[in-house]
């Protein structure tokens, strides 16, 4: 049994340094978990577009290094959420997955960039690589927020063997119902686990909707957050993925 922890983080007006320290404190509280996930662009706030360039980092930057240290210190897999990465003159919305030794084992650059009421698609470059990594707790696929609206990405991860989807997000109101539906549907249609971490609080006047969750391969929500900061604990029984796919073979019966 894999013990999971999704940190549903409050985003307010604190500084980047203060937020990193607070996240480190929250990571200390999930010692004993096997797999931990943080939200999207939590270190500066997703809607802080004016800070994207100034506060961008490399994959060896301060935020990544400090998250790596926490993964190593507590011996868990850590999806560090995402941060704004600068690489070869371009900016990306980038996520890293650390193993229990603090080593980067996967890097995902957000493919679907949001443009509705957002400057993300104007400021950032989109990623091009579908990412699935094999670990000793299962095959993990990574995606970010707006990616949830695109089932083709999840099919591509499925075709690469994904059993667990990790979703880092900064999903806002008023589209809570979309968020609730997509989390479950992406798990159902791929007979896979889905673990999401969303922000709460308000950033640059936009309210995040929270409701992070753990969804099993039948689409059953086994754990869910509300509107406040919380640590959402869950469990993943990876054998359940193959059991569901065998008992209800929709994945096997795909034609297209």
pLDDT in tens, 167-184: 999 999 999 999 999 999
CB 71 within 8 A of CB 97: no
Domain at 2-247: CATH code: 3.60.110.10
For the segment 41-92, what is each residue's pLDDT rounded down to a tens digit? 999 999 999 999 999 999 999 999 999 999 999 999 999 999 999 999 999 9
User: Taking all residues of the chain, what is their mean pLDDT, rounded to a whole number?
Assistant: 97
For the chain, which residues make up each domain, given as ranges? 2-247
Residues annotated as part of the active site:
40, 110, 145
Go through the chain and tell me how many residues it has: 256
Q: What average pLDDT does this structure show over 215-229?
A: 97
CB 15 within 8 A of CB 23: no
Q: What average pLDDT does this structure show over 107-114?
A: 98
- As a whole-number percent, the residues of the chain with pLDDT over 70 amount to 100
For the segment 126-166, what is each residue's pLDDT rounded down to a tens digit? 999 999 999 999 999 999 999 999 999 999 999 999 999 99
């Amino acid at each position: 049994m894999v013990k999971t922890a999704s940190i549903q983080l409050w985003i307010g007006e604190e500084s980047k340094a203060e937020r990193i320290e607070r996240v480190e404190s929250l990571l200390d509280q999930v010692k004993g978990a096997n797999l931990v996930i943080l939200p999207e662009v939590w270190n500066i706030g997703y809607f802080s577009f004016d800070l994207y360039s100034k506060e961008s980092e490399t994959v060896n930057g301060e935020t990544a290094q400090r998250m790596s240290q926490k993964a190593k210190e507590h011996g868990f897999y850590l999806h560090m959420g995402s941060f704004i990465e600068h690489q070869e003159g371009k900016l990306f919305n980038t996520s890293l997955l650390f193993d229990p030794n603090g080593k980067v084992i996967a890097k995902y650059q957000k493919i679907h960039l949001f443009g509705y009421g957002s400057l993300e698609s104007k400021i950032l470059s989109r990623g091009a690589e579908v990412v699935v990594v094999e670990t000793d707790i299962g095959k993990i696929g990574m995606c970010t927020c707006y990616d949830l609206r695109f089932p083709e990405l999840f099919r591509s991860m499925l075709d690469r063997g994904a059993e667990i989807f990790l979703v880092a997000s900064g999903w806002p109101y008023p589209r809570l119902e979309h968020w609730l539906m997509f989390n479950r549907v992406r798990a159902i249609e791929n007979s896979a686990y889905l673990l999401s971490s969303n922000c709460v609080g308000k950033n640059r006047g936009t309210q995040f909707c929270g409701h992070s969750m753990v969804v099993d391969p039948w689409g059953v929500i086994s754990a869910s957050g509300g509107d406040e900061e919380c640590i959402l604990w869950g469990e993943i029984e990876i054998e359940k993925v193959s059991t569901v796919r065998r008992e209800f073979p929709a994945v096997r019966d795909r034609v297209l």
